[in-house]
Amino acid sequence: MRIVLLMALLAPNTVSAQTVEGSWTTASPTRERQQVLVRVVRQDCGSCHGMRLTGGLGPPLTPRALNERPLEALVSTTLYGRPGTPMPAWNTLLSTADALWIAQQLQAGFPDEAAR
């Protein structure tokens, strides 16, 4: 009885987490799109976060700075910005899959334009 109740309480969260994971995984950007995203991050994001993404007007977007941050938070900040700060929303230019890919690359060490 107690187990059933616990499952009922946990189920909604579990299901939505799986749905988000699932749609993120299947919608991974194509290689061509990834090249566009590398350019966007290096040039547009770099204008505030620094050419090496080590910080400027915006904070560093290096693996060291972002490794411990939940991916969801990075994706959400990228798509919707931070109201009241210079961090703009990018959801008119970037899809959720784009933002997820960017967040994953930032945590891993963002590729150079030449490397793509």
Q: Which residues bind ligand HEC (CB under 6 A)?
A: 40-41, 44-45, 47-49, 57-59, 61, 65, 74, 77-78, 82, 85-88, 90, 102
Q: Smallest distance, Å, CB 69 to ligand HEC?
A: 6
Kind and range of the H or E element at 68?
Answer: none
Nearer to ligand HEC, 12 or 70 (CB): 70
Alpha carbon separation from 106 to 16, 20, 88, 109 (Å, rounded): 25, 20, 18, 5
Residue 43 neighbours by CB distance under 10 Å? 11
Nearer to ligand HEC, 20 or 56 (CB): 56
Nearer to ligand HEC, 3 or 105 (CB): 105
Q: Smallest distance, Å, CB 6 to ligand HEC?
A: 33
Q: Smallest distance, Å, CB 76 to ligand HEC?
A: 9
In 3D space, the residue among 48, 72, 52 whose CA is nearest the CA of residue 63 turns out to be 52
Instruction: Indicate the SS3 state at residue 65.
Output: helix
Q: Smallest distance, Å, CB 111 to ligand HEC?
A: 14
Nearer to ligand HEC, 20 or 48 (CB): 48
The distance in angstroms from the start CA to the end CA of the chain is 55
DSSP code at position 105:
H
